[in-house]
Structure 1
């Protein structure tokens, strides 16, 4: 009786999963370069999608973003998908410039941005670490997180017209919590083999990290911004 070559499904799939996770992390790190570049260009040029009509700007942003999503999904198995993903992160860097300019108006603005970046990094490392080592299945979180995301999207749209400070704070707190949990969910999807394409995995995790940073920076600006 011979037992060599006997492998469990989990063991046989492990190398492929590790490769997807490694490529995802590498591409995620690479995506930060065009994000920072786009943010620098936006800050220097005063770029804003929302200077005229916030609603029209929001709809234009959605149209461009979903155009990128379609292209990335269609070409996810080729270098074109990677190029589109990096183009999308450049675009998102431009979109980031508005909150960066606002924060830099504070005398401690640079410190707040660094603190938000550090906090986002800590959240990512913690959630990704839990997703990698935990034996618990977090896949059932998906439907609840999606419902929460729809809720905050509707609240954000309403606040364009209401401009309520309390609602702004509530939305940012919820977004930090929801997208932190999404990091856990999306990383574990790769670890467990639920997502096998590293381009799509990178897009999902990038959006999680991006939203955590934006809303954490917003909260830091509200509660820690120094106008002196």
Structure 2
């Protein structure tokens, strides 16, 4: 029996590592999309209940504390069963805050059309971008720094728009967030494919937040456009 040539051994080892990495990435993708589907459904049901029962919006402070608190707990327990519980607590809470917003738009002229259009566009953008990243397997990791800076700037600007009651700035932030969340969907999907994100709970949270912000931003923009028709 002849010993394997060093080059062939290295190639076989590299192929084996590549296959293992692809298998791991596919597992994360599968688990992420299963959990994402479940959380989207759960959040939608909570939002529907919140809108039907006409529950009040918790306000900016409670919303921020609830969101960042649950996000911290989800991240802290992401490697065990508690993490799953906090994912549903986080997405359910976000669904609750969404209910009064949807209820507000439904009460406006063409409100039902606005909400349906925002929902349809959100679904189309998410499926299109994630499908593109999964199909082409392009690496969008270079977008990470830009997205982080952009999201921080957008968050600060959105707070300024609320405190100083600047509707023009609020609309500009919504347009900015449509682009940022689209980029984040590409970035996170690519991150999973290339092994940058190996925890499906955190991948789910990132994609869920992207979809949530994309929907609310489109809702505000379309609501403004339809109000001028």
- Taking structure 2 as the reference length, the TM-score comes to 0.89
Question: Which whole-Å CA distance do the structure 2 matches of 1:198 and 1:153 have between them?
Answer: 25
Match of 1:109 among 102, 106, 111: 111
Shift of 1:44: 2.3
RMSD value, Cα: 2.0
Shift of 1:8: 5.0
Question: Which whole-Å CA distance do the structure 2 matches of 1:62 and 1:164 have between them?
Answer: 20
**Partner of 2:158 in structure 1?**
156
Larger radius of gyration: 2
Shift of 1:150: 1.2
Say whether residues 1:17 and 2:25 are aligned partners. yes
The SS at the match of 1:163 is coil
In structure 1, the gaps of 5 or more residues are 51-56
Match of 2:182 among 180, 189, 193: 180
Shift of 1:61: 1.7
**Partner of 1:125 in structure 2?**
127
Check whether the contact 2:137–2:193 (CA below 8 A) recurs between aligned residues.
Answer: no
Say whether residues 1:168 and 2:164 are aligned partners. no
Question: Which whole-Å CA distance do the structure 2 matches of 1:125 and 1:49 have between them?
Answer: 30
Check whether the contact 1:103–1:225 (CA below 8 A) recurs between aligned residues.
Answer: no
Check whether the contact 2:66–2:93 (CA below 8 A) recurs between aligned residues.
Answer: no
Say whether residues 1:37 and 2:45 are aligned partners. yes
Question: Which whole-Å CA distance do the structure 2 matches of 1:64 and 1:208 have between them?
Answer: 17
Say whether residues 1:93 and 2:101 are aligned partners. no
Q: Give per-residue Cα distances to partners, 1:150-192, cap 9 Å, x unaligned.
A: 1111111111132222212111100101011000001111011
Shift of 1:46: 2.6
Check whether the contact 1:132–1:187 (CA below 8 A) recurs between aligned residues.
Answer: yes
| Corresponding pairs, count | 221
In structure 2, the gaps of 5 or more residues are none
Check whether the contact 1:34–1:87 (CA below 8 A) recurs between aligned residues.
Answer: no
